[in-house]
Amino acid sequence: MILSRVSRKQPAAGPIGPAAPARRAFIVRGARILFGAGCASLFARPATAATRLDFDELYAKVTVLGMTFSDKVKSLDGQNVTMRGFMAPPLKAEANFFVLTEIPMSICPFCSSDSDWPDNIVVIYLDRAQTFVQANAPIDVTGRLEVGSWTDPVTGFVSLLRLVGASFRTV
Amino acid sequence: MRILAAVLAATTCLIATADAATVYPIDRATILAGSAFDFKVEFAGVVKPEDVTVTINGEPAATVLGKDYEFIAKEEGVDASAVLLRAAKVTKPGMYTVEVKAGDDARTVQWDVYGTPEAPKAKNIIFFLGDGLSVAHRTGARLMSKGMTEGKANGRLAMDDLDHTALIGTSSTNAIATDSANTMSAHMTGHKTAVNALGVYADRTKDPFDDPRVENITEALARTGKKSVGIVTTSEVEDATPAAVVAHTRLRARKAEIVDMMFELKPEVVLGGGSAYFLPKTTPGSKRKDDKDFIKTFTEAGYTLATDANSLEAARGTNTGKILGLFHTGNMDTVLDRRFLKKGTVDKFPDQPGLVDMTKVALEQLSKNPDGFFLMVEGASIDKMSHPMDWDRALYETIEFDQAIRVATEFAKTHPDTMIVVTPDHTHGVSVIGTIDDDKPGEDMREKVGVYAAAGFPNYTDADGDGYPDKVDVSRRLAVFASNFPDYYETWRPKMDGPFDPAIKNEKGEYVANAAYKDAPGAVLRIGNIPRSTDTAVHAVDDGILQASGPGSEAFKGYMEESDVYRVLVEAFALAPAQK
């Protein structure tokens, strides 16, 4: 199997939104490639040790007028962290972009017009596409933490916290 | 009547013709005289402008509509022509026959343009929208809140004493089924439309902001007088129901743009959740994709800002005349969580006001206007808790909604020129069927469901007289079930740890039972009866029950289409008296 990645500085955008088919980020030749969740750990893991970061440690303050990042989040900006959460249903089974949520999502904001994301999501840009895993099971995601508002140029998806160059495995 | 029947027969025949042109407003549209609406004809294919004729009651369209239309040779993304006229108006009431022709493509539709009496009957209207409010919600709320002895209710809900009742048909233009956008849009514009649409007919082009618009009540009131407008909800203020009071878009999900539209019309009082769409994208917690700061924009426009119950109390004493109260970044927590269980997101937003207090503040503020007001109050989470079949939360929400109605009926006692309307937008497939009694023998929860005589009466108590049961998880509680559901674990008990999340999506895109409830004592897997792609229980197509009191409300009776509700409102306000 040959998998070549289109190089880009920013995290590769995933198949979210109509204008962003997976083919944009990846050129897949030959058979359809599916990375089973169990294989994830075989692929590149970040070289440096990752600090564990929990959902309830993300924000120091949550108010109607906005949220304030915690000191821990600010201090880990640019470093490798591991977060445990649930993969929100993506539009396609195979993706390199997904949303990590604290609790399993019972709705799909990408699909349903009357549903919306929780406040404290983290957007995951995978190192390479991996298949969606059973939503009833938590996953551990490891990647480099990026802090601050960023708009995905391909999908228009705005995120505040991202793990980039990430990989995940089932717990 | 016979003429109308003949026209209906003729137009019905034409509907059956394949590839006929589509006309907006649609056939049998009811239009408030003098209201602005976009006129659009979508031809089935590409036509030549010289072949197009549009007549209304035999006259050229421009003569009746006030302006000439624009011809669009080829619509964006569609291989077909159209004609479009923005903000058309018909001022003279009557039946109008619109005949459209381009070669073989012909269509005839009929509009009913209605006027109103000369003099208003009501100065104020308080419009209570119980989102998803069904008969079971009322029955369940009455049983929980008031109790029952020997088959008779021990007390009455505020809505039980409203004078007039009508059955409301909630269907949309594109399906018998319906959602909160198109239904509230019908209430607020007098035009039915398609699922997910607000203040527009749903045309064939992709752009969610180019669809043919119809006037909403806020615009009608601004056009005809100086009444104030208030919006109170427990959802995000840019969610479908409150959005229908101000917005025009094919897609209710365009919440950021809906906030822009809300600011355009500047309702005097806006209270609810949804601050995330008011914050610029750079602010953590924002859900906008631009740098607009609507907190700043609204406050600069003279609004007093409140962000919790405490600052709402302070805002009620100010004299700015305008209040923006945003008490949550998303939907506000349910009353069961806010007042009793402290679950949901109450730890993050501990001081959210309830619907009763918000209604009081809104009435106080709006009633300062000598010209009167229109206030919309939504019990949003009756629906938001009925979707996941969290019946205890849905019934507590109904009790809170009813207590807000009580505030209005008290207000009407000193302001008899006030009409009160209580209505759902759509219903849910929900029924109270008996009780669940923990003290029945055995472990099998199904055998603890009391039906017929074995149901007895529930044992909720209300020692403090606040209208809510002192305890939700009593030993003999209401048995409430949905007619439709995804796969889920039935736990037979109130969800004490937070709102129910029955199903979650698996890797095949199918909703499966949420395993988090698998080990609840007595939990049973129920296999769903709706498509596996559906996340939660769906809206019912059943009629809704509207009740109303006050001047003008006698017009509510029998079966009415949801779009007919608007006519009663504008007649009570006399928004289209005969032109002198």
Closest chain B residue by Cα to residue A112: B253
Each residue's pLDDT tens digit, A60-79: 999 999 999 999 999 999 99
Chain CA centroid to CA B239, Å: 9
pLDDT, residue A104, reads 79
Cβ proximity of B554 and B117 under 8 Å: no
Q: Which residues of B touch A132 (CB under 8 A)?
A: 507
Say if residue B333 carries a ligand binding annotation: no
Sequential DSSP letters for A53-119:
--GGGSEEEEETTEEEE-HHHHHHTTSEEEEEEEEPP-SSSEEEEEEEESS--SS-TTT-TT----T
Q: Give the model's confidence band at A35: pLDDT under 50 very low, under 70 low, under 90 confident, else very high.
A: very low
HEC sequence for B522-568 = CCEEECCCCCCCCCCCCEECCCEEEEEECCCHHHCCCEEEHHHHHHH
pLDDT band at A93 (very low <50, low <70, confident <90, very high): low
Which residue ranges form the domains of chain B, and what is each CATH number?
Answer: 2-108 (2.60.40), 124-430+539-573 (3.40.720.10), 485-536 (no CATH)
Of B330, B329, B66, B347, the C-alpha closest to B338 is B347
Closest residue by Cα to residue B433 from B140, B213, B226 = B140
Q: How confident is the model at residue A114 (pLDDT cuts 50, 70, 90)?
A: low
Residues 317-376 on B with a CB inside 8 Å of A are 326-330, 348-349
Identify the H or E element spanning A162: strand A158-170
**Is B311 annotated in the active site?**
no
The answer to whether the CB of B279 falls within 8 A of the CB of A65 is yes
DSSP three-state, residue A122: strand
The candidate with the shortest Cα–Cα distance to B404, out of B423, B373, B426, B379, is B379
- Give the contacts of B68 (CB within 8 A, at least 6 positions apart): B61, B62, B85
In order of B266, B267, B302, B304, B392, the CA distances from B321 in angstroms are 12, 10, 8, 8, 37
Q: What is the pLDDT of residue A20?
A: 33
Q: What is the pLDDT of residue A120?
A: 84
State the burial class of residue B402 (Cβ atoms within 10 Å of its Cβ: 0-12, 13-18, 19+).
buried
pLDDT of residue B580: 65
Side chain identity at residue B145, one-letter code: S
Q: What is the pLDDT of residue A54?
A: 96
Give residue-wise pLDDT tens across range A78-89.
999 999 998 887
Reported ipTM: 0.85
pLDDT of residue A32: 32
- Residues of chain B with pLDDT below 50 are 1-18
B187 is in an annotated binding site: no
Look at the alpha carbons of B440, B443, B447, B449 in this order and tell me if their dihedral is positive or negative: positive
CB atoms within 10 A of CB B289: 13
Q: Give the pair of three-digit tokens for residue B513.
A: 């039972």
Tens digits of per-residue pLDDT, B486-496?
999 999 999 99
pLDDT-derived band at A28, boundaries 50, 70, 90: very low
Which pLDDT value is given to residue B7? 43
Q: What per-residue confidence (pLDDT) applies to A41?
A: 39
One-letter amino acid of B18: A
Are residues A114 and B308, on separate chains, in Cβ contact within 8 Å? Answer: no
Integer CA distances (angstroms), A160 to A104, A139, A168, B277, B357, in order: 20, 20, 20, 15, 34
Question: Domain residue spans in chain A?
Answer: 2-170
Closest residue, chain B, to A121 (C-alpha)? B285
| pLDDT confidence tier of residue A107, bands split at 50, 70 and 90 | low
- Separation CA B253–CA B245 (nearest Å): 15
| pLDDT higher than 60, residue A46 | no
Contacts of A107 in chain B (CB under 8 A): 535-536
- pLDDT(A43) > 60: no
Per-residue pLDDT at B360: 98
How many other CB atoms are there within 10 angstroms of residue B453's CB atom? 7
For residue B316, the 8-state DSSP code is: H
CB < 8 Å to A34, chain B: none
pTM of the entire structure? Answer: 0.90
Encoded tokens for B409: 């009926």
- Tell me what pLDDT residue A12 has: 35
Interface test with A, best of B294, B507, B517, B533 (most A CBs within 10 A): B507
B389: left (phi over 0), alpha (psi -120 to 50) or beta: left
Residues B72/B84, Cβ–Cβ less than 8 Å = yes
Are the C-beta atoms of residues A67 and B285 closer than 8 Å to each other? yes
Extract the runs of DSSP E, i.e. beta strands, from B351-451: 373-379, 418-424, 427-428, 430-437, 449-450
Residue-level pLDDT at B532: 95
The owner of tokens 């006001």 is: B353
Candidates 3.30.1300.10, 2.40.50.140, 3.40.1350.10, 1.10.357.10; correct CATH number of A2-170? 2.40.50.140
The reply to whether B260 sits in an annotated binding site is no
Distance CA B394, CA B13 (A): 44
Q: What is the pLDDT of residue A91?
A: 64
Q: Do A66 and B284 touch (CB under 8 A)?
A: yes
Contact B549, B413 (CB under 8 A): no
Residue B426 assigned ligand-binding role? yes
pLDDT of residue B11: 43
